[in-house]
Structure 1
Amino acid sequence: MPNLFPGQHTLGLAFGGASPFSRKADEAPLNQRSKWQANHENYPIWSAADDAKNKAAKLSDAAVAEFEKASSKAQAKTGGIELYSAKYYAACTFGGMLACGLTHTAVTPLDLVKCRRQVDSKMYKGNFEAWGKIGRAEGIRGVFTGWGPTFWGYSVQGAFKYGGYEFFKKFYADLLGEDNFHKFKTGVYLSASASAELIADVGLCPFEAVKVRMQTTIPPFARTTLGGINYIVGKESFGGLYKGLYPLWGRQIPYTMMKFASFEKTVELIYGYLPGSKSDYGKGAQTAVSFAGGYIAGILCAIVSHPADVMVSKLNADRQPGEAFGAALKRIYGHIGFGGLWNGLPVRIVMIGTLTGLQWMIYDYFKIFMGLPTTGGATQDKQKS
């Protein structure tokens, strides 16, 4: 009895042209094809993945072209920037302002929870619970409590920190001479970053005082940065804005010393491990190295500076008017103990690691935009070669 069902060969001839997965190797010769079979040479196989890749490549190429165009215009307006000139330090200052102001503002929700948990470790069990409670009570504005003083304060601090670091690094390197600089460059990085941060914190301190009080009082004692400054000055005079300066130096100077020195060393090690020299790598690769080096540096400096960060939050939130700095420090430490100095550390590691990585990436990308080399990376041997 003949088979009533078509065989595999017959099905292949009838429907092979309708399948997007057919291969040319499996196609029958032209004289053996069914009249219903499509000509594959006229209908190439379409791939959604390839289409997406092609579109992404076109967008990337367009973005690079726009970046190059804008970069060329900016460099033409500045007339070219000579290394270590006044224009160079001005560009580094502006790049630092962008890097710190934007990134610190973006992580305000994390900073809000960190500060509140440092003041009262039992207030929230976790970040998501905290954001949920704050959002239900105050809306999205409540989750970003303190963004105003954060933006202004860290823009000022970033400008003086990065611009000052570039200035002091060159200043101390010139004092030592080239040969001694290569021998003691870690000391130069530490000294330059400490000098820059000492000045930067004077600009940051008033805004930090407003930010911490705004984030640790429920409801916030002020809604705007200027309102917070006026309130503190009215209650405690101008000195009330600077009563947290010493603990701020205690937090920020070690933090910045670790941030810059470990970044320089990490980036140097990365380029030393990679084949070729730093100049062999493109802009994207160099900024990726900056992000990686910044993230590692951020983890280290978060750990080093965390106890001082807790004390800054406590002093700005709990210090009584007219109370001496030493007395306030002793009272707060007696209340929280050594373990309390480490409240909120995991959150701060994530926050500072991401923050520092993004800061270095933005800062070095801006330097590239202005036609300047990225920060660090070349070892002495590769420089000589």
Structure 2
Amino acid sequence: MGDEGDSKGRRSGLTIFSQEYYAVCTLGGMLSAGTTHLAITPFDVLKVNMQVNPVKYNSIFSGLNLLVKEQGASSLWRGWSGKLFGYGAQGGCKFGLYEYFKKMYADLMVGHNQTMVFFASSASAQIIADVALCPFEAVKIRVQTQPHFARGLADGMPKLYAYEGLSGFYKGLGPLWARNLPFSMIMFSTFEHSVDILYHKIIQKKREECSRAQQLGITSAAGYISGAIGTVISTPADNIISSLYNKKSHNVLQAAKSIGFPKLFTRSLPIRIMLVGPVVTLQWFFYDSIKLLTGLPTSGGIIDDRNLASKEQ
């Protein structure tokens, strides 16, 4: 009995659902989200400017050329620190807490549809993750669209606080939730179901029967599918956030009215699809690579800790 209790919930020396397990998930989410968002900073700068000034920046190619011509090549990396640290903080909370809440809701909702577990887990994690992201996002957008506001987080944070107080950091929290909650719920649930379909319907193998390369291939395919679908859902709120932070509008309704209903869904959509799909794919790839390196299973599905001991024996 003692040996069984010692082996229960362990894989390669790491205890599933332990503090160490959630720490690895949080660190993996932080590294994967922060680095991937940092890598696409030039396109993010363009995206935000296309949202704020769509007449001037009306296409990807001409917009990039215009930014470089008027503001120099360095302008394409404006706001990089907000991307790295802001989305690193968000990613750590989002992935780490998703694993925590998925376990919690799976235990509470035994017998319920797994989609409800995925929705509840991702929503709970995203609410907290966006509170962590919001101050960084507020400064990042201003730095990217207002060249004389600040150079980055170091001078942007105190400057924004001096101008607008604490509320300046969280002005866009509501729209941020409106953008990221649907995205996160769709992204995580689509990812989970895509992984299940790919293993059972396409490859027709169990996860443990696949090589690491095959497992990461499944992760990448499911990540791209989930990112592309989530992007379409979250585009309206993303446009509203940029309008609010640049004082183009004073509230959500005014922002939606000024942009126009059809353009809420279409403005910056092509560049968002181009950005978000690969970014989400790389996030899942790096995240699951870190999990594999620490002896954990790749993502997808609800792990039943009651069965882990027998698998290890």
Structure with larger Rg: 1
CA, structure 1 residues 220+281, in 2 after alignment: closer, same or farther (shift >3 Å)? farther
Taking the aligned partners of 1:379 and 1:87, their CA distance within structure 2 comes to 16
2:210 matched residue in structure 1 = 281
**Matches of 2:118 and 2:270 in 1, distance apart?**
27
Give the counterpart letter for 1:370 in structure 2. T
Out of 150, 153, 160, the residue aligned to residue 225 of structure 1 is 153
Q: 1:220 to 1:362 in 2, by over 3 A?
A: farther
Contact 2:26/2:93 (CA < 8 Å) preserved in 1?
Answer: yes
* Unaligned ranges ≥5, structure 1: 1-77
In structure 1, which of residues 299, 307, 332 is the aligned counterpart of residue 228 of structure 2?
299
Task: Determine the C-alpha separation between the residues in 1 that align with 2:288 and 2:184.
Answer: 17
Could you state the TM-score of these two structures normalised by the residue count of structure 2? 0.89
Number of residue-to-residue matches in the alignment = 293
Q: Which of 235, 251, 269 does residue 179 from structure 2 map onto?
A: 251
1:308 and 2:232 are equivalent in the alignment: no
Q: Note the aligned Cα RMSD (angstroms).
A: 1.9
Q: CA deviation at 1:378?
A: 8.3
Measured after TM superposition, the shift of residue 170 of structure 1 is 0.1
**Distance in structure 2 (CA, Å) of the matches to 1:89 and 1:128:** 42
Distance 2:303 2:195 in 1: 10
Asked if the contact 1:367/1:373 (under 8 Å) is kept, the reply is yes
Deviates more, 1:304-313 or 1:114-123: 114-123
In the TM superposition, residue 138 of structure 1 has moved relative to its aligned partner by 3.2
Q: Structure 1 residue aligned with 2:166, among 234, 238, 245?
A: 238
Larger RCO (CA under 8 A, 6+ residues apart):
2
Return the match for 1:364 from 279, 288, 292. 288
Does residue 267 in structure 1 map to residue 195 in structure 2?
Answer: yes
Query: For 2:301 and 2:121, how far apart are their aligned partners in 1?
Result: 17
Which structure 2 residue ranges, 5 or more long, are not aligned? 1-10, 308-313
Cα drift, residue 158 of structure 1 = 0.3
Query: 1:113 corresponds to which residue?
Result: 46
Out of 140, 157, 176, which is 2:73 matched to?
Answer: 140
1:271/1:377 contact within 8 Å kept: no
1:128 paired with 2:61, answer: yes
Q: What's the % identity of the aligned pairs?
A: 40
Contact 2:140–2:152, Cα closer than 8 Å, also in 1 = no
From 176, 179, 196, give the equivalent of 2:125: 196
Counterparts of 2:148 and 2:21, CA distance in 1 = 41
**Secondary structure of the residue that 1:318 maps to in structure 2?**
coil
1:54-93 matches, cutoff 5 A: 80-93=13-26
Alignment match, 1:60: none
Q: Distance in 1 between matches of 2:303 and 2:79?
A: 42
Asked if 2 retains the 8 angstrom alpha-carbon contact of 1:93 and 1:162, the reply is yes
2:298 alignment counterpart: 374
Distance between the aligned counterparts of 1:378 and 1:268, measured in 2?
A: 11
CA 1:267–1:225: 2 relative to 1, 3 Å: same
Instruction: Give SS of 2:15's match.
Output: coil
> What letter matches 1:346 in structure 2?
P
2:204 partner letter? P
Q: Name 1:335's counterpart in structure 2.
A: 258
TM-score if structure 1 supplies the norm length? Answer: 0.73
Inter-partner Cα distance in structure 2 for 1:130 and 1:103: 22
Secondary structure, aligned partner of 2:246: helix
Gap change, CA 1:319 and 1:243, over 3 Å in 2? farther
The answer for the alignment partner of 1:153 in structure 2 is 86
Q: Which amino acid counterpart does residue 51 of structure 2 have in structure 1?
A: Q
Q: Deviations over 1:326-378 (max 9, x none)?
A: xx222222222112212010110111111111110110000001110000158
Residue in 1 aligned with 2:115? 186
1:24 match: none
